[in-house]
Chain A
Amino acid sequence: MGSITLEHVNKSFGGVEVIPDISLEIADGEFIVFVGPSGCGKSTLLRLIAGLEDVTSGRILIDGEDVSRAAPAQRKLSMVFQSYALYPHMSVRGNIAFPLKMEKAPREKIDQAVNNAAAILNLTDYLDRKPRQLSGGQRQRVAIGRAIVRQPKAFLFDEPLSNLDAALRVAMRLEISELHNKLKTTMVYVTHDQVEAMTMADKIVVLNAGRVEQFGSPLELYQRPANTFVAGFIGSPRMNFIDGAEAARHGAHTIGVRPEHLVVTPEGGDWSGVVKVSEHLGSDTFLHVDVDGIGALTARAPGDVPFRHGETVGLSPMNGRLYRFDAQGLAL
C-alpha cells in the first residue's frame, strides 16, 4: 500500500512562501510526475513528502495516516537523489544493504534481498566495487537498488536522470518504467523534462511558482490544457500563442495552436507569412514563419517539405485543434 495525500500543504523558507497551498491525492501504485520550470518548488514538494523538510502548515498523509511530523525514517519511503548520494566508503553491496542494516534485518534476509535487487538491476558483477569505480548509469542503478530493498510504500525520485547522457537517459527511463510495472509500487518522480513526464507518468502534476496548474493524465494535459501555462509547457516545440484582433475574431483573449496542428500549404491558408528559418530534422521540418499582424509562428511539417528561407507559405490550424483562452489565461 502506498497512497499519499497532501492537504493544504504550505511551505515557507524564512518568510518566503515557496508553496502557497497544495492539495493532492496520489493513489496506491500510481506513477506520478511533478514537472515544471526550474525553481517552481518540485524538489521542495518531494522533500516535504520525504520528511526532509517540515510543512509550514497543512497535512501529509500516507495510507491515511498523518505523517506531517514524522521523521523520514518512519515514513517508509525511499528516495533516489539527482546526485545518487551513494555512500562512497561502502561497496555496492554495502550501499544496497544499508537500509536493511538500519532495520536490523537478519543476515540471510539482507543477503537475499541484496542479491535479488542486484539481479533485477544487472549489478551482480559489481557488488564488491566502490561507487567511484562505476559509470553514471551503474551508480544510478545502485541508488535504485538501495531504494527497492526496503520494499518502501513509495519511491521518490528527484531528477534521477539529469546527470546522464542522452542515450543512457532514454535507456534508464525505460528501466524505471519497467520497474514500476514489475513492482507496482507508488512512484513520485520529479523532472523538468517534459518528455520524461509524458512517457513515464500515469498522471502529471504541472507546477508553476509553487502552485498546481493542472493534474491529470499526459494525454489530458496535451489535449485539454487548463491554461496557457500548461498549454505552453507540455508539447514540443511549444504551442504558438496569438493575441489581439486575430484572437478576438475567435472570441478569445488568446488563442493557441500547436506546431503539429498547423497545415502548411504553398499558398492560401488562414494566415500567410514568410519562412524565416526552416530546420530539417530528417523526420520533421520545423518552419519558423513570420506572419503579418500576428508575429512568428512555428509549424511542424513532414521531413521532405520543399519550403526554404524567404518563401511565402500559407498556414491553417486543423479543425478543432485551436485552443482558446480568456484574459486570465484559462481555457475557454
Chain B
Amino acid sequence: MARAVSTRRKLAFTALAWIVALVVFFPILWAFLTSFKTEGTAIAAPPKFLFFEWTLENYRTVLERSNYFRFLGNSIITAVGSTLLGLVVAIPAAWAMAFSPTRRTKDVLMWMLSTKMLPAVGVLVPITMLFRMMGLTDTHLGLVLVLTLINLPIIVWMLFTYFKEIPVDILEAARMDGASLRQEVIYVLTPMAIPGIASTLLLNIILAWNESFWTIVLTTTQATPLPAFIAAYSSPEGLFWAKLSAASMMAIAPILIMGWFSQKQLVRGLTFGAVK
C-alpha cells in the first residue's frame, strides 16, 4: 500500500467504516447483550443497551432445561464426522486429479461441482423415503452421510487447488526413494498439504454446522443438531427472548470463532477458485 493519505481522510474513513461495521454486526451484538438480560429487561421499552443487571440465568436455564448438550453433541458429531469422512474420501481423489490428470479430469471436477448445485428439494421426496426405508431418519449416520455428500464436491475442489500447488517432483522423489503410494500420500503429500487440509476442514465444519434444510427435514428428536434445535424456538409466542438469545449464542459462538479464522479460505472454497 503505497497510497499516501492524509490522517484526516483516514480518520473520516475509519469513523464511517466502524459505523457501518457496527450496524452490520448489530443483530449479533444485540442478541449477545440480550442473552445476559432478564426476560423482563429483554423486552423493556426503551431498550437497555449496556446498563442493566447482567445475569447468567438464561445460560443456566437453557443448559438445565433443554438438553442443550445433546444438541451440541449432535452438531459436533455430524459436522466433524461428515467433514472427516469427506476428507478421507476426498484426499485420494484430489491426489489423483492433481497429480495424475487425464483429459477427463477437468470434466469430472466440473461434474462434481455441478452436483453441489442440485437443489435439495429436487431430491427431497426420494431421500426422505429412502431414509425411512433404511431406518436412517433421525440418526447420526444418516445425517453424516447426507452432509458428506453435499459438501464432498467442495472438499475435493479445495484440496485439488491446494494439491496443485505442491510440486510433483517431490512426490516423484518419494516414489524413487521407495515409498509406496500409501506412504507417499501419508508421509509426504499430507504433511505438505496440512495448511490446505486444515482450511478445508474448517470451512466444511462451518458449512455442515450451519446446514439447515436437511437437518430440519431429516431429524426429529434423537439426532437433531443445533439449527433444528433453534428452529424449535420459533414455535408460538412466549417471550423467552433472553433464553432464545442465550441458546443462539451457544449455537453460533464456536462456529463464529472458526469462521473468523478461516475467512481467507472461505473465498477460495466458496467461489471454487474463480476469485483469488
Contact = CB atoms under 8 A, between A and B. Distances in A.
Interface of A: 50, 52, 71-73, 77-79, 81-83, 85-89, 98-99, 102-103, 146, 150
Given A83-B167, A85-B167, A88-B192, A102 B179 contact: yes
B188 A50 contact: no
Nearest to A104: B178
Contacts of B192: 87-89
Contacts of A150: 177-178
B170 A73 contact: no
A72 B178 CA distance: 7
B176 interface: yes
Interface in B178-212: 178-180, 183, 187-188, 191-192, 194
A331 B230 CA distance: 88
B217 to A, nearest CB: 43
A196 to B, nearest CB: 20
B169 interface: yes
B164 interface: no
Given A73-B175, A78-B177, 11 more contacts: A71-B175, A79-B176, A83-B167, A85-B170, A85-B173, A89-B191, A98-B174, A98-B179, A99-B177, A102-B179, A103-B178
Given A87-B188, A102-B183, A78 B176 contact: yes
Contacts of B180: 73, 102
A146 B169 contact: no
Contact of B169 (A71, A73, A81, A103): A81
B172 A85 contact: yes
Contacts of B173: 79, 81, 85-87, 146
A52 B172 contact: yes
Contacts of B187: 98
Nearest to B192: A89
A81 B191 CA distance: 21
A71 B181 CA distance: 11
12 contacts: A71-B175, A73-B176, A73-B177, A73-B179, A78-B176, A83-B167, A85-B170, A85-B173, A89-B192, A98-B177, A102-B180, A146-B173
**Residues of B in contact with A, size category:** 10 to 19
A83 B191 contact: no
Interface in B91-108: none
A72 B179 CA distance: 9
Interface string B14-50: 0000000000000000000000000000000000000
A77 B176 contact: yes
User: From DSSP, what is the main secondary structure of chain A's interface residues?
Assistant: loop
Contacts of B194: 89
Contacts of A86: 170, 173
Interface of B: 167, 169-170, 172-180, 183, 187-188, 191-192, 194
Report the 8 A-B pairs with minimum CB-CB distance, sorted nearest first: A85-B169, A85-B173, A99-B177, A102-B178, A73-B178, A89-B191, A79-B176, A72-B175
Contacts of B170: 85-88
Nearest to A80: B173
Nearest to A99: B177
A99 B183 CA distance: 11
A77 B178 CA distance: 9
A103 B177 CA distance: 9
B195 to A, nearest CB: 11
A89 B188 CA distance: 8
Q: Which of B176, B187, B191 has the most A CB atoms < 10 Å from its CB?
A: B176
A52 B175 contact: yes
A102 B181 CA distance: 11
Contacts of B188: 87
Nearest to A158: B169
A50 B174 CA distance: 12
Q: Which of B167, B175, B191 has the most A CB atoms < 10 Å from its CB?
A: B175
Nearest to B183: A102
A327 to B, nearest CB: 42
Contacts of A103: 178
B166 to A, nearest CB: 9
B183 A72 contact: no
Nearest to B172: A52
Contacts of B172: 52, 72, 79, 81, 85
Q: Which of B170, B178, B188 has the most A CB atoms < 10 Å from its CB?
A: B178
A62 B231 CA distance: 69
A146 B177 contact: yes
B178 to A, nearest CB: 4
A85 B170 CA distance: 5
Contacts of A73: 175-180
Nearest to B102: A14
Contacts of A52: 172, 175-176
Nearest to B169: A85
B175 A83 contact: no
Contacts of A50: 176
B106 to A, nearest CB: 15
A142 B1 CA distance: 39
A148 to B, nearest CB: 12
A88 B176 CA distance: 17
Q: Which of A73, A78, A83 has the most B CB atoms < 10 Å from its CB?
A: A73
